[in-house]
Amino acid sequence: ERKARRIAKAIVERRELKPWETTGELNELLERIVGRARQHGLPPATRSFQALRIAVNAELEELRLALQAALQICRVGGRIAVISFHSLEDRIVKNFFRHEASSCVCPPGLPICNCGKKASLRLVNKKIILAAAEERRQNPRAASAKLRVAERIL
């Protein structure tokens, strides 16, 4: 969100004056700052409410923990499939899969590997899988969905 600092400051200032009682109050504040016009086809408060939900629920940390847990319980030959719905989630999944699919993590300047890391996953699809046009037509929420799949090899 381009106006994130301004929004955060306004939320804190308003909270000091009077406790928040409804999401409508927050929505009004956001509309005053961001405006009423739609951004990227979304109501102006959508991204702010999403950010609050992600922070309050610790969703990104929960995703990291879930990926680690999935790796622990997945048997060799088993697959981990993850659907992400926004770039923050997708970046975490992509980086986790790439890290687990790589063997050596030593700095490039070292002549010999001394980390001993072995790849535990193989990327099943090198590129993300997106919903087909028909799926997006029937279910508009599928438009932002990205599927990544990795197979346990170790």
Q: For the chain, which residues make up each domain, given as ranges? A: 4-56, 60-152
CATH class of 60-152: alpha beta
Judge contact between 141 and 92, C-beta under 8 A. no
CA-based nearest residue to 15, from 52, 60, 54: 52
Ranges of the chain whose pLDDT falls below 50: none
What is the SS3 string spanning 60-80? HHHHHHHHHHHHHHCCCCCEE
**Per-residue confidence (pLDDT) for residue 116, from 0 to 100:** 84
CB atoms inside a 10 Å sphere around CB 100: 22
> Cα separation of 96 and 130, whole Å?
19
Residue 80 buriedness (CB in 10 A; 0-12 / 13-18 / 19+): buried
Return the pLDDT at 9: 95
**What are the φ/ψ torsions at residue 112 (nearest 5 degrees)?**
-130, 140
pLDDT value for 79: 98
Find, among 54, 53, 83, the residue nearest to 143 by Cα: 83
